[in-house]
């Protein structure tokens, strides 16, 4: 999905999916998340801090610290993560980068892109983290 979302957002989605797949309420150290997802620890920690500020993830400091889900996986939509990291602009920006692209002054791809973005928004708002838990573990294993 790199065409729509930032790399940071993609990694945030992966991290939340990982937390849900291992046990959403367990506190997982950032080192473990970074290692399993092959992401630098400092980068994933910053992403998880953003998700903590948005109420998707919770953090615990100290020797036994780490991150866990702040909500049940069936209450977290992928859209929640996208909005927390990339914001809503991702759904309104012109795919060709033209300023003032709109329904009134469309770029050559506006109508087709708008339909794709609308469908993407709907899908991300319908799908919850809980629906992906089992698939995530298989994908993480394939990265090793």
Name the pTM for this structure: 0.85
DSSP string of 112-141, one letter each residue: HHHHHHHHHHHHHHH-BGGGGHHHHHHHHH
Distance of alpha carbon 90 from alpha carbon 95, whole angstroms: 9
Q: Return the pLDDT at 1.
A: 38
Closest CA to 133 of 13, 12, 9, 17: 17
Q: Return the pLDDT at 30.
A: 92
Q: Helix 30-37 to helix 41-53 angle, to the nearest 10 degrees?
A: 120
Q: Return the pLDDT at 15.
A: 93
Closest CA to 17 of 53, 46, 43, 47: 47
Does 91 fall in a domain? no
Domains contained in the chain, number: 1
Closest CA to 74 of 128, 32, 3, 134: 128
Does 34 fall in a domain? yes
pLDDT digits (tens, 9 = 90+) for 32-58: 999 988 889 889 999 999 999 999 999
Give percent of the chain with pLDDT exceeding 70. Answer: 90
Does 99 fall in a domain? no
Q: Return the pLDDT at 144.
A: 62
Does 51 fall in a domain? yes
Q: Return the pLDDT at 140.
A: 65
136: CATH? 1.10.10.10
Confidence of residue 2 (pLDDT cuts 50, 70, 90): very low
Range of the domain at 13: 7-85+128-143
Does 24 fall in a domain? yes
């Amino acid at each position: 999905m790199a065409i729509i979302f930032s790399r940071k957002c993609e990694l945030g989605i992966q991290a939340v999916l990982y937390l849900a797949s291992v046990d959403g309420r367990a506190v997982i150290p950032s080192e473990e998340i970074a290692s399993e997802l092959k992401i630098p620890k400092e980068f994933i920690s910053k992403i998880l801090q953003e998700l903590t500020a948005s109420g998707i993830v919770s953090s615990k400091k100290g020797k036994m610290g780490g991150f866990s889900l702040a909500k049940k996986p069936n209450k977290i939509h992928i859209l929640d993560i996208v909005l927390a990291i990339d914001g809503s602009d991702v759904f309104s920006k012109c795919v060709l980068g033209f300023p003032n692209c709109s329904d009134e002054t469309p770029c050559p791809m506006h109508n087709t892109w708008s339909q794709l973005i609308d469908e993407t928004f709907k899908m991300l708002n319908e799908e919850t983290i809980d629906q992906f838990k089992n698939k995530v573990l298989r994908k993480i294993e394939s990265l090793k």
